[in-house]
Amino acid sequence: MKILDGKKLSQKIKEEVKKEVEELKKKGITPGLAVILVGNDPASHTYVSMKNKACKETGIYSVVHEFPESISEKELLSTIDMINENPNIHGLLIQLPLPKHIDTTKILERVSPNKDVDGFHPYNMGRLVEGLDTFAPCTPLGVMELFKEYNIDLKGKDVCVVGASNIVGKPMWALLVNAWATVDICHIETRDLAAHTKRADIVIVGVGKPNLITADMVKDGVIVVDIGINKVNGKIVGDVDFENVSKKASYITPVPGGVGPMTIAMLLKNTIKAAKKMLK
């Protein structure tokens, strides 16, 4: 069994990003990322703080627009318009979730597709499905980078994706299909999850349910990517019973230290990509 070490790979990517930032600065461009953070959700504040720190480490200009939970949709849309027009900001990220009185779809659609470094705009989602160059969502993109780093060939592999969210599951499916994998996508209405995971060469899970994937649900030699993040008795764990599943797996991601660091690394890469478009 080998560990798919996202922490180690993310550091390698950060060093590459740092060099690219230096090159862009020589050409008069300082990559800039703006984050909109609404409310007091502790997890959201933690994520934004980590993203901000990663930007500073790599030389990317970062600004966080914080708003109270009571902010109106109109005010939020106005802020997005202002950031869209700012030539010094190349990437704009809306930290989710947003308060219930705000239409998340409307907010995400207001972000300029050219600054949509989270890859959530329907325009970029559509290009992703068609296999065209675009901004792909950071978490599934990070999973693909792990496969690339560890020379895991996806062609013809049977992959089971557990979770069908717009943020992870659906874009993960698109990236895998574009890499010529055969993809089975499962969700909360799937009747017999084990029947799908047992025949998969690769299982990718991200639903937020501890120990959802157990050893009896996977075959020997399986590759397991755990995107889930859960807190159990004060400890961060994934969606996979790591202790027992790892005994059958050929490769597996740890939680923490697997996909999490890769998500932020891909955000940095997408921001650089957006900044480079300014040169064209």
| Rounded distance between C-alpha atoms, residue 67 and residue 45, angstroms | 12
User: Is 11 labeled as catalytic in the residue annotation?
Assistant: no
Active-site annotation holder among 5, 95, 184, 241: 95
| Rounded distance between C-alpha atoms, residue 95 and residue 76, angstroms | 12
Q: Are 187 and 156 in contact (CB under 8 A)?
A: no
User: Is 192 labeled as catalytic in the residue annotation?
Assistant: no
Q: Are 23 and 231 in contact (CB under 8 A)?
A: no
Active-site annotation holder among 5, 115, 116, 118: 118
- Say how many Å lie between the first and final Cα of the chain, rounded: 44
User: Of 138, 86, 146, which is closest to residue 111 (Cα–Cα)?
Assistant: 86
User: Is 56 labeled as catalytic in the residue annotation?
Assistant: no
Beta strands at 251-252 and 202-205: parallel, antiparallel or unpaired: unpaired
- Active-site residues, by number, are 51, 95, 118
